[in-house]
Each structure stands twice: as C-alpha cells, then as structure tokens.
C-alpha cells in the first residue's frame, strides 16, 4: 500500500513538472521564429560588442547606453570586462559612442549596469539612475552628469529590502524613482523556482528618501518601465506574460491598473517618444534562445512601435525584425528626431535613420 501511494505521488509530481515545463516553453515562445523586416539606413555602432541593455535619450539628443550586463544564466561576449555607460550625441552628423568617465571612489571593477533612467531637475541638473548588479547583488546608483567633461559624478548607492531583484527604473525626482523587481526573491535558485512555477510575485516599487513601498504587484516577471510625457501614466512590461500594463499614477504615488495590452512576443524595455507619447519596445521573439545560447541558431530581435495605447484599439507595428544574423536579443529601442537606436542584452547595437 505504501509503495502504491509513493508511486501515485511520484506520478502526480512528474505530471505537474511536465505541465510546468510546457507552460514555461509557451511563456518563452520557444517555438517562435520571425521573418526579417529590415530598415534601409542602419549600421552597427562601433564600440558596442557585448550588449547595450538599456538606452535613454535626453531632450538635447544625448543618448546614454548601459553596456556590458552580466547575469546568471545569460551568455556574455565579454565575461571578464566590467560594464560601463556610453554616450552618443545624436545631433552630430556622424555620432560616435564614447565611454563616460566615472568619479573616483566608485567601484568600477564590479560595475554591472542594467536598466537606466535620466531626470532633469528644475535647475537643469541631469541625474542618471542606474540599476547595478555588483557581484550579482542589487543596487541603484545615482550619478550627476557633467556634460562639459563627459563625466559622471557618483552621488549615492541605494539598497533596500524591497529591491531584491531590480530590473529597470524610471526616475521621477532627483532621488525618487519607480523600479521593477523581475522576481520576488534574490537567491538564484529561488528565482528559477519562482519562474518555473509561474508564481506571479514580481512587483513595482516606489522609492523616495522618505518612503519606500510596493505600488503594483502580481506580475509574472516585471521588466521595462517608463512614464507618459504628461506623467499621468506608468507603463510596465511583463516579459513572460507578453503584456504591457498601463497604470495610472495617484497623488500618493501609488499605481492603479487601467488596462493591459497583450502581445505575441517577450516585451523588454519601453521607451517613450516625448513628442507623440508613442511607445517603442525592444522585444525577444523567442526567449528560449536567449538563455540557451547557440551561435548557429542565435536569439532573434524585434522592435514594436505602439501608438495610442490608451485607446480601445492601439496600433501595434513591427518596425524591425531580424533572425539574429545582424542583431541578437534586442532589449530596447529608442527614437530621437528621425533616428532609431536598438540595443541588445549581450550583443551589438544598431543605429538607424527612419
């Protein structure tokens, strides 16, 4: 009788594991392939060889790149090289990506930048917020950008128990931000278990010097985050659920869900066109290829342009798609004055004239 019970329990456990495995493949879009959609005026950006996970562009055309991300389970083309922040002036006729110097005292050897966001204060001071994973831990670094010297002055390192697995960030003040946690846990094994079981425990946190709180939760894996030009709405990409959540910002900084846009791809970082409010998204058509890297069958890339997201029927256009022959693992797409920048998780970056 005892053996029969043990066999029954084993059968149930195996069936559950099998069901979860198939569900994970579906969340990763493991069977999806893309047909290439090319743009006519594109070239790879010199100096970016090992990822440009996030990009943020100032109103004056200065673009910041977060480069060199290393993450457990992800491929890296430069595993022993620290990450950095590059800058490109999009108003130049032939813009080049230059690495910004960072002030003394900041640990450059363990710099592992992820999501980034800029904030311009009332006195025109530019702050750069950077999600950092030194030794695979989780911090948010705040820098002051000194344009004349192409220099980042490190101001503050933020750690908090409500920021256990930070992915992306949107600054809303000189020391204030919303951040996504793509997992509830910080331990790598528990993260894998959380993903495998699809627990939907990921969340969004609001941080200020006076208050830190969870303001939205229930995500499969909260990833990219951004805010509308009028500052009324916050957009959150749920990468494994293939969704963009539209959240209304309340006076107390809490977020109330307004709607969800369902897509057919893994949505990563979100960029906002400040003139139109359109959303540009770097996407992964097949997430399994990201984590099981095969140089003969590399991860593909996809860029979506979303118009009128607040309407009943937003317009979703695939602007660019590639099977990995040019660009592998697109994670962000940002526009400025007819120019498009496409960054990747661990590969190259593309500059296009639209």
CA distances for 57 relative to 2, 80, 116, 291, 303, angstroms: 65, 28, 10, 29, 17
Active-site residue among 75, 114, 284, 305?
A: 114
Q: What are phi and psi of 208, to 5 degrees?
A: -145, 165
Q: Which two tokens stand for residue 291?
A: 């984590």
The question of whether 133 is a catalytic residue gets the answer no
Rounded to whole angstroms, the Cα distance separating 216 from 240 reads: 17
Which helix (H) or strand (E) segment is 281 a member of? strand 279-284
Which helix (H) or strand (E) segment is 270 a member of? strand 266-272
Rounded to whole angstroms, the Cα distance separating 120 from 145 reads: 10
Residue among 134, 138, 148, 198 nearest 169 (CA)? 138
Rounded to whole angstroms, the Cα distance separating 311 from 235 reads: 14
Rounded to whole angstroms, the Cα distance separating 80 from 151 reads: 24
Q: What angle do helix axes 188-197 and 2-27 make, rounded to 10 degrees?
A: 90
Those residues whose C-beta lies under 8 Å from the C-beta of residue 201, and which sit 6 or more positions away, are: 183, 184, 194, 217
Q: Which residues does the annotation mark as catalytic?
A: 114
């Amino acid at each position: 009788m005892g053996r029969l019970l043990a066999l029954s329990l084993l059968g149930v456990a195996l069936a559950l594991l099998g069901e979860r495995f198939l569900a994970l493949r579906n969340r990763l879009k493991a069977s999806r392939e893309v047909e290439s959609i090319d743009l006519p005026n594109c070239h790879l950006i010199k100096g970016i060889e090992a990822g440009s996970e996030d990009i943020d562009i100032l109103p004056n055309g200065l673009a910041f790149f977060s480069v060199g991300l290393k993450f457990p389970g992800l491929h890296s083309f430069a595993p022993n090289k620290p990450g950095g922040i590059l800058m490109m002036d999009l108003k130049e006729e032939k813009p080049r990506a230059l690495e910004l110097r960072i002030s003394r005292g900041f640990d450059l050897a363990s710099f592992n930048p992820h999501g980034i966001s800029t904030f311009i204060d009332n006195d025109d001071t530019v702050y750069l917020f950077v999600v950092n994973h030194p030794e695979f831990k989780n911090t948010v670094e705040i820098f002051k950008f000194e344009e004349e010297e192409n220099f980042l002055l490190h101001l503050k390192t933020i750690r908090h128990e409500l920021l256990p697995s930070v992915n992306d960030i949107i600054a809303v003040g000189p020391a204030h931000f919303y951040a996504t946690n793509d997992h509830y846990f910080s331990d790598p094994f528990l993260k894998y278990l959380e993903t495998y079981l699809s627990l939907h425990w990921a969340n969004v946190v609001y941080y200020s010097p006076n208050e830190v709180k969870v303001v939205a939760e229930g995500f499969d894996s909260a990833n990219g985050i951004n805010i509308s030009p009028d500052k009324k709405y916050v957009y959150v990409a749920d990468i494994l659920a293939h969704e963009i959540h539209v959240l209304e910002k309340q006076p107390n900084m809490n977020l109330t869900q307004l709607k969800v846009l369902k897509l057919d791809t893994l949505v990563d970082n979100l960029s906002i066109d400040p003139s139109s409010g359109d959303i540009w998204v770097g996407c992964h058509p097949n997430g399994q290829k990201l984590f099981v890297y095969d140089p003969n069958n590399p991860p593909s890339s996809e860029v979506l342009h979303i118009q009128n997201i607040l309407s009943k029927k937003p317009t979703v256009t695939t602007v660019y798609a590639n099977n990995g022959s040019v660009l592998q693992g697109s994670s962000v797409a940002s526009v400025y004055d007819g120019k498009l920048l496409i960054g990747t998780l661990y590969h190259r970056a593309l500059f296009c004239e639209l």
